[in-house]
Amino acid sequence: MLRRRLRPVNRSVQLIHVTPRPSPAPWSPWQEGQCQSGCTARSKGYRERRRQCLAQDCEGTGYDVALCDDTKVCGKKRRVAAGAVAARRCAQYAARVPALDPRGGGVQAPHDPTRMWMGCAIFCRRLSSGGYYAPRVELNDAGLDPYFPDGTWCHHDGDTHYYCLQHHCLPENFKMTAEWHVWELPSEDLAGSFNARARAVDQPADDALRRYLSLDDDGVPLARSAFPPVIPDEPEELWEVDDYVDIPAQRDSV
């Protein structure tokens, strides 16, 4: 019987260094506040939640708002209709925005899936031109909230109720995740330096902005486009702060 001697095969092994993927930075546990509510009709309560990033570059957000049962919060007191809340708020807004009618009341706009803020913004009756206007820009830095309280009912699609959460009309089963946060929703909204110093009047831009934030007498948006008007950026020099004073040179007294 013929026997063959097997020769060892020379196989070189190349080691590849694989850098381990860093694990996400840790968060502290959520700290939940108490259930609060505006006690509006068909509303739910809301509970603020906060957490702290224990390192750098944490994924997700440190702030969230979740719905809660407001039965104990509101008790047996009568729930207020959204229109009544809007009327009371609009009377306050009119002191800051002269174009609003302090006695004209306000409305809740119908939900728009392309502009999720609409059902949660308060629209006030105009003083002279008719229709309703949401003074979001004028009240941006005035210390007045131009929105309905979180938890306010804002829509029903036949199957699911929607409620205001962080100024967005969202389904009650909406859950925040690291990848899907309320401020990353596919909803168009305004962008610009609202609280900067006043710009020179840009009439076309102002007119487009007013239409975008307005409803007609029947509560129908004047601007049907889902995309907001572009607010021109301010010149860089308007953001400069001169925190020094030039003192003229003085001659030494003899």
Q: What is the dihedral of CA 71, 76, 77, 79, to 10 degrees?
A: 50
28-34 own/partner pairs: CB under 8 Å, 24+ apart: 28/52, 28/53, 28/54, 30/64, 32/66
Let me know: does 212 contact 229? Beta carbons within 8 Å.
yes
CA distance 32 to 66: 9
Neighbour tally for 179: CB within 10 Å: 8
pLDDT tens, position by position, 208-229: 888 889 999 998 898 866 555 5
Q: Which residues pair with 66 in a beta bridge?
A: 47
Specify the 3-state DSSP secondary structure of 133: strand
Q: Which two tokens stand for residue 85?
A: 């809340």
Q: Which is nearest to 116 in space by CA: 175, 171, 59?
A: 171
Q: What is the pLDDT of residue 12?
A: 56
pLDDT tens, position by position, 131-177: 999 999 899 878 899 999 999 999 999 999 999 999 999 999 887 65
CA distances from 98 to 90, 132, 137, 141, 142 (A): 11, 14, 14, 16, 14
Tokens 């719905």 sit on residue? 67
pLDDT tens, position by position, 56-91: 878 878 888 999 999 999 998 889 999 999 999 999
Q: What is the mean pLDDT of the chain?
A: 80
